[in-house]
Chain A
Amino acid sequence: MNDKNKHIRQRPDDEYPNPGVPADGAWAGMQDMLDREMPLSEADVSSRNGNFNWAKAIKLLSVTCLTFAGLVYLILSKKPANLDNKMKSETLKEERNEPALDHRKNTFENSSKTHLGVVKPTSISNIIEQKSSEKPIIRRIQSDSLPLQGHNQINSESGLNQKGRALKKEGVSNSNESKKLLAGQSAVRLEGELSSGTKRTPGVKSERTNNVSKVVKTLDLPNQDQSKTSSIIPIGAHRNNRTDANSQWVVTGENSQAKLANQKKETFSGVQNNISTPSESGLKITPEKRFYPISMLFGRNMSSLNHLEQTLKTIRIQSTGPVSKQPKKMGKQNILEDIHGGLLWNISVPFSGYDSYFRGTNNTNFQVSGVSNEFYKVLFPGLWIAKTLKNGDEIVIKMKPYNQYFGSGNRSDSSRVRESDTTGNYFTITRRLLKSSGPNLGVQYNHAITRGWSVGIGANMQWQPKALLGNEVKSSRRNSVVDYVPFVSLVQSTDTSNYLKPSFIAANIELLYSWKKLQLGAGFGIPVTSMIGTRYRSLRPISGQVTFRWKLK
């Protein structure tokens, strides 16, 4: 090649006369040749012009936005649930004036701990077995350090088994209790008349286990009849945010008592799930209404265990019903309250092409448009439905039966036709997209900046069954325009797919102002996928838009 360098005087960056054939037309012919002799693979075709990447990106963005909006909604809609938790906590407040169990001689008045559990009575005497991989709540307790002599007895696993057998022998009415007590690996049982003098089993330790735990505390409460009164008291706040579900306590009453004798035998099961601490829930607990988690007793000075029975006595257990269903009811009500809807007018404001703004299209392809005025179509209202979030933001779904999108006269297709004579001259036919029209469906997220102003970003699917083109014919002989038709109709079909895609995705950003039931917005819209179907070029003209929303609900 070097030996021929002397034959090259030209350089690519030199100044050359204007080529007689525009580069666009020449490249169109070159593309045809390339497609015939060097066809692209399907992947290359799909990725050409970057359309695929744009579409993929906008889809990903839309999914991300929707997911984010959903998460925001879920987070915000949990506020009523917190209120419910607060209500649940309220139900747990013990009324210290309740004399039901005041026969007990110990109280928790000196304790500063609070009880956070939810105690739910059930009609069936049962014991909730809780399997947990977490650490058991009961600390290792040296039995000889327990100040429970004559009152409480804490058994280790072996002790529990023994006591379970003992219970069985003693004819405990609830056989399941005995079985579970026997099966428990790390159970603590407090049995006996706490107020009366019972003997503490020496050398018995309360062990901590790391796997399945069933913590059972049995308190023999006074009862006039021989049947046991069992209550499962949840253990509230304790280490590692452990909840009552991790343990069960069985409180049984044996001895009769004046007020308990009149009460129906009840079994209470404690359920405490995801209950926030008083500080988290904003619940203020007065000193008079303090109540104490049983579990905390084992981490405290054991003298506080003496307060246990008093706590159990003084707790007034209220039936809260199936509290888990309550937030759902409130959530449904909020959803209906926050949904609004109304009419929508969206007016496109193109940067050029106003002469075709109201012009309609015929149903004949590439024929001169005979419909000169279809202004009424612009007045067709659309519908919108919005969900107002807690922070004032909105998620809006928009549906418009007729929406225009302007192509700003950009070239959508160019082809060449050889003239009928033998001179080799040809015509170059250039078609420019003026506008397309059709239904539109979109989703938009409006972020409230101030009370009246908000900014929105959204994605729209625009269908374009019809379009309006400008047709230009240029002759190579005179290098001049020989024919120009300003408005040519185009109807979506397989024959016209090169000129017009069935639909495209557009993004829009708006600044909105709300005043009473009206909302006025202005912004821009830009297609993220091409409006035209040719593989070689993409057409994504930006255009302005004015939005008017009327809130009916």
Chain B
Amino acid sequence: MDQLRDILEGCKRNDRKSQEGLYYQFYPALFTLCRKFFADEHDIQTALNNGMMKVFKNISQYDDGKGNFFNWAYTVVRNSCLTILRDRKSDVVVTFREELPDVADYDPFETSNWEDIFQYLNQLPPATRAVCSLFYLEDFSIKEIVTEMGMKEGTVKWHLNESRNRLKEIFTKSKKS
């Protein structure tokens, strides 16, 4: 903790060494976070660096009395991912259904490791992947996804249902193979 505190103090002074240390320390976790939303490595790195830039710029606003620094940085980087997703207008045609199944009943990633999760996510369209990641991996509620993604609730549910159906097919194929 003392080491992290020193790094944060250095980051507040705009010290490159400290910034580099913080970047390297959180890089695996935050790269994995961004990978939940993007398949392309360039997008991942763009989202990650945009988020870390916000972290470095606003690090003086961080209050350690309100929570863990990693959670704060994690949230900032995740919001950076969501910002990119919002800016990209989805070209997916959303089909609304009157009755949507309860998407919370089933967690396709419950027993999967990271490699499997990313393998499954790579099979999904970008918007569906983002909603699926937020719902199943980030524990966002549908209302929170609506707020964060700027989607309608039905659209979010559709994406969740779509991800569930696709992942079921993938799981079935993988089991058969």
Contact = CB atoms under 8 A, between A and B. Distances in A.
A182 B3 CA distance: 81
Interface of chain B: mostly helix, strand, loop or mixed: helix
Contact of A26 (B16, B33, B49, B75): B49
A314 B120 CA distance: 118
A419 to B, nearest CB: 10
A2 interface: yes
A10 B32 contact: yes
B24 A44 contact: no
A329 interface: no
Interface residues of B, number: 44
A21 B45 contact: yes
A16 B45 contact: no
Size band of the interface chain A makes with B: 35 or more
A10 B24 contact: no
A40 B10 CA distance: 13
Contacts of A29: 45, 49
B67 A5 contact: yes
Interface in B14-67: 14-17, 19-20, 23-29, 31-33, 35, 40-45, 48-49, 52-53, 56-57, 66-67
Interface in B120-149: 137-140, 144
A426 to B, nearest CB: 7
B25 to A, nearest CB: 7
A21 B34 CA distance: 12
Interface string B142-158: 00100000000000000
A17 interface: yes
Among B15, B35, B49, which residue has the most Cβ atoms of chain A within 10 A?
A: B49
A502 to B, nearest CB: 23
Contact of A6 (B15, B16, B32, B139): B139
A37 interface: yes
A425 interface: yes
A29 B48 CA distance: 11
B70 interface: yes
A27 B24 contact: yes
A63 interface: no
A1 B72 contact: yes
A21 B31 contact: yes
B16 A34 contact: yes
B172 interface: no
A17 B29 contact: no
B75 A8 contact: yes
Contacts of B144: 7
Interface in A1-26: 1-2, 4-12, 14, 16-17, 19-21, 23, 26
Interface string A21-57: 1010011011101100110100010001100000000
Closest 7 pairs between A and B when the two form their complex, measured CB to CB: A424-B42, A19-B31, A16-B28, A1-B67, A16-B32, A20-B41, A17-B114
